[in-house]
Chain A
């Protein structure tokens, strides 16, 4: 039998990666290309959707060549994407009417405050399972419709299309202006504030509330199921699935049973726990989101703890402070000292997400003394990721009643052994990394492969999961960090207070 491969595209915040996996879920070839980050004003973050699309085509073509697969051996394409990033484009020409508003962008803050003051705002949390926050896509769509001259009228006439990144890519892959399919997957749709999280349909009350015409919206589809054929690749391939990147990682980690959870450490970090087919509402600052849906099956939900800035703090150390030349060197620098020297960094660059949801909070470095060196600062930067994880794990334990016995981790920061050990010690639970660290891409590949029968069912995927590393808590360190945690909590309170208006 000929070998069968699946192509995954991970359209991320800083780069687009194309990866070919074999049936064992093993990485065969990988290509990556970064795209530009535009910062037109403080708090604004934009991407050029056409650049992202060009990079997708390029890396996909390159990786297919690298894999040297025979024609027909690559049987499906799966897409994972940076979530909540918003694109609005012209249906006839395929040209975006504005650069993409990235999930880190905070320009909708004032708009959201204004909306939150309305009496009917309570409907949002109830219908969507989300916080009414500028972090989600709906307010960004509204901003574009308000800001671009004529956009609202054109949207109402059906001349403009809205999408998160997977929608933009699927539309272009399937022909663009020439018959492109305008669809979104249900996990991405669940991040817009426009979808009823129980029915998984666009909600007319929410569309009214946010002032969004239904004509711009894509059709909501299951995460696993053929969306169309990618005719824009060198060899046409069915698009078998799409998921938001964090849901893709949950899928790639094969967290298919209620209670199973993973945390992905990238630019930000996202802890998702599968809660099964029942929607669990958070009382502790988490959000309820769609985990995945197989075509013809009920939706699976997750509780999510979203942390905006983790790896981005290391990038800040590299790019803004110049203390390191590559991100992994942060570990080398941190190991020049034995502890944080009393220093804490709260990276509330654009407010704090879960479990605080304090949009006005701003970052701070606490505990500075003349004793603190760049080594201590590097440690505090890494510890900030650990402490923020502890914040969301505590909330999740309280909400789900399913205490984590093990944390499954993935993402770029999991090659940082100092951080992983700190996580195990600060959580007091083992931290486990799977054999494929590229779980976002793997999850997209799994979704697409399931849709076309490369794998028979989710049980077949579970058999591919293996441990590649484990960090166990050291009892003495656990006790030390328990004693230190109130210091972190105090620093967080200070960063929230700093952002409050006098």
Chain B
């Protein structure tokens, strides 16, 4: 049976000790409570401070539970809540870009469509809410994969399904692309899932700055991309602005109250 991760157990013991005290504890007191050397305890506390799982009283130097812990239980963002908050900005993006808009979240290696606004040409279209898309072949998916922590990024041995001749099926190429997405803050696809269709997407961030969703447009290649094959700057601007506007909707503002 594999052993537990020792530093995690120790960190948890520290948190339990502080919680049990009902207030603040000094480092010496904590070290003796959890049976560790003071330097070890101090090291663990530094990391917990960085994560905001504990707070240090500036005057006494004593430790209390941090705000980061409070968020863990309640900051799960409900997909229906997310749609409700994004709706106005998704509408405006579809209207400005003339393209269909999708908002997606990541589930494993797939994107779940949380919200979908039709392309505003009044042609017959089907609502794609709930549809699951391959992450590696969509701009939404690239944004979401790029935002995952290094540990949970796709491993080199993941099999990437080929959907069109342009689909990125080599994990190394995909990793390079995701690196570029992280650098510039948006992603694009060119005929990687459907022939003739391009996509541009940007990250939507929750109150703590973590990427919670991706917002993007899809449309004909020549409408979204330049002849050189890169996303048109005007389109990128609209998508990034709309994603930032949705991110702002997710941050509670004093006096705004709850929507809907």
Q: Answer yes or no: B10 CB below 8 A from chain A CBs.
A: no
- How far in angstroms is the closest Cβ of chain A from B175? 34
Q: Which residue of A lies closest to B96 (CB)?
A: A26
- A286-310 CB contact bits vs B (8 Å, 1 = yes)? 0000000000000000000000000
A437 within 8 A of B: yes
The answer to whether B127 and A470 have CB atoms under 8 Å apart is yes
Report whether A470 and B259 are in contact in the complex, using a CB–CB cutoff of 8 Å: no
Partner of A415 from B84, B118, B120 at Cβ < 8 Å: B84
**Closest Cβ of chain B: how far from A331's Cβ, in Å?**
4
Q: Mark A414-451, 1 if CB is under 8 A from B, else 0.
A: 01110000000000000000011110000000000000
Stretch at the interface among B52-60, B132-140, B250-258: B250-258
Cβ contact within 8 Å between A466 and B95: yes
Q: Is the interface of A mostly helix, strand, loop or mixed?
A: mixed
- Given A415-B260, A466-B95, output 15 extra A-B contacts at Cβ < 8 Å: A26-B95, A32-B256, A32-B259, A34-B258, A326-B84, A327-B258, A328-B260, A329-B81, A412-B259, A415-B83, A415-B87, A435-B91, A467-B118, A468-B117, A469-B118
Q: Separation in Å of the B95 CB from the closest CB of chain A? A: 5
Q: Which B residues between 212 and 260 are near A, CB-CB below 8 angstroms?
A: 255-260
- List B contacts of A437 (CB < 8 A): 87-88, 91
**Is A394 an interface position by the 8 A CB rule?**
no
- Does any Cβ of B come within 8 Å of A27's Cβ? yes
| Interface presence of A332 (CB below 8 A) | yes
Q: Are B81 and A328 interface neighbours, CB within 8 A? A: yes
CA distance A435 to B91 in the complex (A): 5
A118-143, CB under 8 A of B: which get 1 and which 0?
Answer: 00000000000000000000000000
Binding site for A on B (CB under 8 A): 78-81, 83-84, 87-89, 91-92, 94-96, 115-118, 120-122, 125, 127, 129-130, 255-260
Question: Which residues of A (318-359) have their CB < 8 Å from a CB of B?
Answer: 326-332
Contact B87 A326 (CB under 8 A): no
Q: Does A471 contact B (CB under 8 A)?
A: yes
Q: How far is the CA of A309 from the CA of B84 in the complex (A)?
A: 20
Complex formed: what's the CA distance from A89 to B11 in Å? 62
**List of 7 A-B pairs having minimum Cβ-Cβ separation, nearest first:** A34-B257, A466-B120, A412-B260, A328-B80, A328-B84, A331-B80, A328-B81
Contact of B125 with A470 in the complex, beta carbons under 8 Å: yes
26 contacts between A and B (CB under 8 A): A24-B95, A28-B92, A32-B256, A32-B257, A33-B257, A311-B260, A326-B84, A326-B260, A327-B84, A327-B259, A328-B78, A328-B81, A328-B84, A329-B78, A332-B80, A415-B84, A415-B115, A415-B260, A417-B129, A435-B120, A436-B91, A436-B95, A468-B118, A469-B116, A469-B117, A469-B127
Say whether A467 contacts B122, CB under 8 Å: yes
CB nearest neighbor in B for A318 = B258
A1-53 contacts to B (CB < 8 Å): 14-15, 24-28, 30, 32-34
Report the bound CA distance from A208 to B77 in whole Å. Answer: 56
Docked Cα-Cα span, A412 to B256, in Å, equals 16
Contact assessment for A27 and B87 in the assembled complex, using a CB-CB cutoff below 8 Å:
no
A190 nearest CB across to chain B (Å):
28
Residue numbers in B under 8 Å from A436 (CB-CB): 91, 95
A17: nearest residue on chain B (CB-CB)? Answer: B259
A326 touches B78 (CB 8 A): yes
Question: With A311-B260, A466-B122, A470-B118 in contact, do A438 and B78 touch (Cβ < 8 Å)?
Answer: no
A27 to B255, CA, bound (A): 21
Are A33 and B84 neighbours in the complex by a CB distance under 8 Å?
no
Nearest neighbor of B256 in chain A, beta-carbon distance: A32
Closest Cβ of chain B to A12, distance in Å, is 11
A379 to B: closest C-beta gap in Å: 14
Do the beta carbons of A412 and B84 come within 8 Å of each other? yes
Q: Once the chains bind, are B88 and A438 in contact (CB under 8 Å)?
A: yes
CB-CB < 8 A to A311: which residues of B?
260
- CA–CA, A245 and B249, complex, Å: 24
In Å, the complex CA distance between A468 and B91 comes to: 7
Please, which residues of chain A bring their CB within 8 A of the CB of B129? 417
Question: Measured between alpha carbons, how far is A437 from B94 in the docked complex, in Å?
Answer: 12
Shortest distance between the CB of B239 and any CB in chain A (Å): 15
Cβ A328 vs Cβ B83 within 8 A: yes
Within 8 A of B (CB), among A176-217: none
Task: Quote the shortest CB–CB distance from B199 to chain A (angstroms).
Answer: 18
Partner of B80, one of A14, A415, A435, A471: A415
- A 445-482 binary contact with B (CB < 8 Å = 1; else 0): 00000000000000000000011111100000000000
> For the complex, what is the distance from the CA of A24 to the CA of B91, rounded to whole Å?
12
Q: What's the least CB distance linking B180 to chain A, in Å?
A: 31
Q: Contact between B80 and A416 (Cβ–Cβ < 8 Å)?
A: yes
Q: Which of A311, A330, A437 has the most CB of B within 10 A?
A: A437
**A33, B258: Cα distance in complex, Å:** 9
A416-B125 Cα distance, complex, nearest whole Å: 18
Q: Which residues of B contact A416 (CB under 8 A)?
A: 80
Which of the listed residues A24, A330, A466 has the most CB atoms from chain B within 10 Å of its own CB?
Answer: A466
Contact A329 B80 (CB under 8 A): yes
Task: Name which residue of chain A comes closest to B123, CB basis.
Answer: A467
B81 and A326 contacting across the interface, CB-CB below 8 Å: yes
| In the bound complex, CA of A15 to CA of B84 (Å) | 17
User: Are B120 and A417 within 8 A (Cβ)?
Assistant: no
Bound CA span A28–B256, Å: 18
Residues of A within 8 A of B83 (CB): 328, 415
Contact check, A15 vs B117: say whether CB atoms are below 8 A apart: no
Bound-state Cα–Cα, A69 to B58, Å? 44
Could you tell me if B88 and A34 are in contact, using CB atoms closer than 8 angstroms?
no
Taken together as a complex, chains A and B put the C-alpha atoms of A417 and B113 apart, in Å, by 12
What residues on A are CB-neighbors of B260 within 8 Å? 311, 326-328, 412-413, 415
> Most chain-B Cβ atoms within 10 A of its Cβ — which of A30, A415, A467?
A415
User: Please, which residues of chain B bring their CB within 8 A of the CB of A332?
Assistant: 78-80
- Contact residues in A for B121 (Cβ distance below 8 Å): 466
B120 touches A468 (CB 8 A): yes
Complex: chain A residue closest to B116, CB-CB: A469
A14 to B255 CA separation, bound complex (whole angstroms):
12
Residue of A15, A32, A412, A417 ringed by the most chain B CB atoms within 10 A: A417
Interchain CA distance A471-B84 in the complex, whole Å = 17
Closest-CB distance, B242 to chain A (whole angstroms): 11
Q: Please, which residues of chain B bring their CB within 8 A of the CB of A14?
A: 257
Nearest chain B CB to A53's CB is how many angstroms away? 15
Residue of A whose beta carbon sits closest to that of B117: A468
Q: How far is the CA of A329 from the CA of B79 in the complex (A)?
A: 8
* A33 contact from B87, B89, B125, B256, Cβ within 8 A: B256
